[in-house]
Structure formats: structure tokens, C-alpha cells
Structure 1
């Protein structure tokens, strides 16, 4: 890119480029050079906007986790409608079918990135923790509507559901039927019949 040409929303441009590299080539290919090449900008552009590459990665992860908020709102919006198992399976499919599955190994294998995230993210792994919160909120909403048993421990069911989905998506995406069967197995005893 020629010197002196203004870039529009360079942070977003770099994040989109990082996501493309991550999805196409995996976490080991995600370097500052790969991101700037993908974005079509000089390498120095990244370092003008971020302290270093791990600072960029931390901001990238937090930006992508913030994009889960609309998914959480959508899931809460369907509480009381449709099939509870289908609603949860669809939400988990949206989370794990996205860039989330590529971000998780990135966080796992980059100690400096984990340390940077700890500065603003006190516990758990971003995206997984958000998914647990999203599912727990949904289950609590269904519980208030009488579709989940009053005695059900929604704060225990949610991490089991997210963990199950994480394992199912670990190698390749499961079929819709497999995901639905697994969700059903986790919450079967908590569903209220004829609700």
C-alpha cells in the first residue's frame, strides 16, 4: 500500500484478515506477516495499532467473542417457543460452527496470549465461557416458563452442554442428528413433559 493512503477502519480490516488466515490455514499459520499480507497492508500497519502481535491477538479474540452477543439475544428470544433441544443444538452449532473452534487452539497454545487475555478476562476461556453463559441464561428462561424442571441445575447443565459440543466439534462438525442426540441426552431428565 502506498505511503500516505488512509486506511478505513484498519483494526476491523486486520481482524477480518486474521479470521480468514485462521480458518483457512489454522492457528500455526497466524503470524503478523500472514495477517498483513492477507489484509493487503504493510506489516508496520499492525504495529502502529497494537503494541505487539500478542496484543493484536488478544484484541482479535475479544472482538470475536463480543460477536456472540447477538447469538445470545437470539437464543433468549426463542425461549418458550419451538423445541428446547432443537433451540440448544442450533445455538451450539452456531457457536462451534464459527471461527470459535479455530480460536480455541490459538488461546490454548499461546501462553503470552492467555496471559494478555487474563488482564481483562478473569476466568475461563473467552468464547467457551460466553457459550456457557448463553446456554445457562436460555435454560433459566425456559425454567421460568415451565419447560425445564424447577429443580434442574441450569448452571451445571450449561457447561456439560458446551463441553459435549466442544468434544463433538473437535475433529470435524458432527451431523445435526448427532448434536441433537447429545443435547437430548444431557438435558432429558430436566425437560418437563408436555411443556
Structure 2
């Protein structure tokens, strides 16, 4: 007779548990014991799948960063529909309402994790780098459609939008910003790149 029920993909179960610990207690609460306790599994499960805890955290960050590719495709598909500000507001809110802010805090708080991540990503902050590329790709598409001016500086606009929105959501323990506040910030950033009606 089996003595227990097989758990689903243990890596994903551990990642999900780490996210919950991170969101609840911040980077300082994230230990291997906290993760395995949250995942309701033996501590050995983590070490069976990862060389050490930093390797686990690096894979968590990279896996969560890779999810942005799906969001990027969704945002790009919106080019030419709605308004540019509305599309950006929705995409940036989806990004920063998730675990993204907590992941960035985790990366910036652990030197050993940053060193490990440099092996896979020599420059930039994981997740923010992919998010900036997502926004830049969308802005480029809108510029090609004429919904942004031909002289729009995408390389300046994309990181400015990411940085501005990140600051709005940065207080992990506070109340998330109102959608109107996010929209106002986005509209302000892109105001100079938005074609003005003739007349």
C-alpha cells in the first residue's frame, strides 16, 4: 500500500511556496526551512532538486522572469486597440501586482543570489530587464502604427515606465495604488510621445 499521495511537480510546488513566504514575510523570511514547511514537504525534497538554496532561488527568479514572455505576447497583440495608456496601465499593473516587486527585493537583498544570476544574465536586474523589453516591444509596435510619434525615444520611455510603476507598487506592505494613479503616471510619461490632434 502506498504510504502517501505523490505530490505534483515538486519544483513548481517549492516555487509556489517560496512566493507565498516572500509575499508574506519579505526576503528575510525566505529560508529553505520556511519554503519546505510552506510546501508541506521534507527539507530533503528541495536539496534533491537543487544543488543548494541559492541555486533554488536563482531558478525561482529565472522561471518567474520567463513568464513575462507570455505577458509580452498578450501586450503586443493589443497594439492598435484601445489606447496606448490603457494598454500600458493594464500590463504594468498585472506585472507589479504579481510577485514581481517581491522578486526584485529578493534579488537586491542577496549578494550571493545576484552573483549566481550573473551566470545566466550578465547585465540588468532579472524580471525588470524582461519587463522593460516587453514594454519597449509594445511601444515600438505602437510607434510603427502611428499611435506614438515617429521621434518617440523607446529606449528612454520603456525603462521610465518600468521605474515609475515599480515605485508606485514598491511598498509591499502598503495599499496598492489605485488604477487611476497608475494610469495618470503612465499618461504623464508618454505625453510627449503621443501625437497631438491637428487643429
Query: Where in structure 1 are there 5+ consecutive unaligned residues?
Result: none
Match for residue 36 of structure 1? 36
What residue number does 2:71 align with?
71
In structure 1, what is the Cα distance between the partners aligned to 2:182 and 2:73? Answer: 21
- State which drifts further: 66-75 or 169-178: 169-178
Give the aligned partner of residue 182 of structure 2: 179
* CA distance, structure 1, for counterparts of residue 148 and residue 115 of structure 2: 38
Could you tell me how far 1:191 is from its partner in structure 2? 0.8
Residue 37 of structure 2 aligns to a residue whose secondary structure is: helix
CA distance in 2, matches of 1:176, 1:8: 36
Q: Return the alpha-carbon distance in structure 1 between the equivalents of residues 84 and 101 of structure 2.
A: 24
Q: Could you say what the CA RMSD is over the residues aligned between the two structures, in angstroms?
A: 1.7
1:20 and 1:177 map into 2 onto residues whose CA distance is 28
3-state SS of paired residue (1:125): coil
TM-score normalised over the length of structure 2: 0.93
- Alpha-carbon offset, residue 24 of structure 1: 1.7
- The one-character-per-residue Cα deviations of 1:100-130 (angstroms, maximum 9, x if unpaired) are 0111111001000000000001211011111
C-alpha distance 47-5 of structure 1, shift in aligned 2 (>3 A): farther
C-alpha distance in 1 between matches for 2:27 and 2:87: 30
Aligned to 2:18: 18
- Aligned residue for 1:87? 87
The one-character-per-residue Cα deviations of 1:36-77 (angstroms, maximum 9, x if unpaired) are: 011111101111111100000000001111111111111000
TM-score normalised according to structure 1 size: 0.94
Stretches (4+) displaced over 3 A = 2-8
